Amino acid sequence: DPDMPFVPSIPEDQFILVEEGDPTVIPCRTSDPSAQVTLMDSLDKAVFAFYDSKQGFIGNFPAGSYTCKTMVKGVEFKSDEFLIYILRATSQLPVEIEALKTVYKTGETIVVTCVVFDNEVVNLQWNYPGKVKEKGLIKLDDIKVPSQKLVYTLTIPEASVKDTGDYECTARHATKEVKENKKVVITVHEKGFIHLEPQFSPLEAVNLHEVKNFVVDVQ
């Protein structure tokens, strides 16, 4: 089609997510297989890469915006703009689970954090006693500096004794068959308590002017 040298692209094709170091395709396809196509970067400079009219330009491209252009009977046509985003995704999946404390009283707020390091391409799921009732509030912080880490925070407001149990996060690599899970045990008591262990007998004898220490272990 001389009036439509580039096959129209859908919006999903214009945003290209690629893992760091992986090749990708910029899908500016032509309706004329013999068309001469040039790939341009955001500075309008030509980028040299292998071109396949059925797929587009294939190669390792830096993050940024790209446009394809071609000439038909002396008229220049430009494709839609394609945006490439580079995602950090290591083959390993370092995960840590953190809890400020593991023993709570009824009514307190439980907070458990799961941190995924050096990876942006992750699916993470929580398993905890109140999950069926969807009691937990989940927040994600994507931290880039000084290093990449995804911080998933699970908050359980107004904890009860039923919230006692295993709190587990499972991280799955979005493109590789890699998963990692971590667990912490949380205990919720009906109320606070103090446990005393006296280190002396119910009846103690003391001599006149004697100094004697009475020791109690308090937990």
- Is the domain spanning 11-87 CATH 3.40.50.300? The answer is no
Q: What is the pLDDT of residues 131-147, one digit of tens each?
A: 988 889 999 999 988 88
Label residue 36 by pLDDT band (50, 70, 90). Answer: very high
| CATH architecture, range 95-189 | Sandwich (2.60)
**11-87 and 95-189 have identical folds:** yes
pLDDT computed for residue 89 by the predictor: 67
| DSSP secondary structure string for all residues of 138-207 | EEEEEE-SSS-EEEEEEEESS--GGG-EEEEEEEEESSSS-EEEEEEEEEEESS----EEESS-SS----
For the entire predicted model, the pTM comes to 0.60
Where along the chain do its domains lie? 11-87, 95-189
